[in-house]
Amino acid sequence: MSTSNETTRAGRPSVAKASMNIGNVAEGSGVPPKTIRYYESIGLIHPAARGPNGYRTYAAADTRTLKFVKRARSLGFSVEEVRDLLDLWRDKTRTSVGVKSLATHHLEALDRKIEELSSMRKVLADLVTRCHGDTRPDCPILDDIEEGKAVRHASALPIEHEPRSQGRKEKS
């Protein structure tokens, strides 16, 4: 790998420095090539530089960014929250207050989701216990679903997240 410090107008490393192909960066980051292309298409990560052959080329920094994204996604952060976390991660002048705020809101949303899932589990466990599971056609599970007796759970909806601007520095 070259040690050149040249960059393109988009702020990306020059092709001379970005010497990994998408397969290499996928292997190094644990993110599949299709997902890498998707993240580029939605602007979550910077588009890869292109070599003379037109293929995407990547630098070690791209692998670190993709590992960051993968870890944040594995913690359940939405794509928009990951975008905010990336902005904070890249901003070396940031304070940790914005990061903690974003993570705290996400943790609260996870706690709500866990509570809703626990409640659903209790209802379903009760229905399973009441169902004979034999040759009879009657079934308390189907009856309950049909009648809608069970408590409606908000968990059928995605986890609610705070607006993007929450905990971020205002741009001047």
Mean pLDDT of 129-133: 92
More confident residue, 152 or 107: 107
Mean pLDDT of 56-66: 95
Domains of the chain: 1-74 (1.10.1660.10), 76-167 (no CATH)
Q: Give the pTM.
A: 0.69
- Non-local CB neighbours of 53 within 8 Å, separated by 6+ positions: none
More confident residue, 72 or 10: 72
Q: Give the pLDDT confidence of 105-125 residue by residue, as tens digits.
A: 999 999 999 999 999 999 999
Residue for token digits 């037109």?
Answer: 54
Query: Does the pLDDT at position 161 exceed 80?
Result: no
User: What value does the mean pLDDT of the chain take?
Assistant: 83
Residue 12: count of CB within 10 angstroms of its CB = 20
What is the C-alpha to C-alpha distance for residues 159 and 150, in angstroms, rounded to an integer?
Answer: 21
What is the C-alpha to C-alpha distance for residues 131 and 137, in angstroms, rounded to an integer?
Answer: 10
Query: Does the pLDDT at position 157 exceed 70?
Result: no
What is the C-alpha to C-alpha distance for residues 114 and 132, in angstroms, rounded to an integer?
Answer: 29
The string of DSSP codes covering 23-38 is: HHHHHHHT--HHHHHH
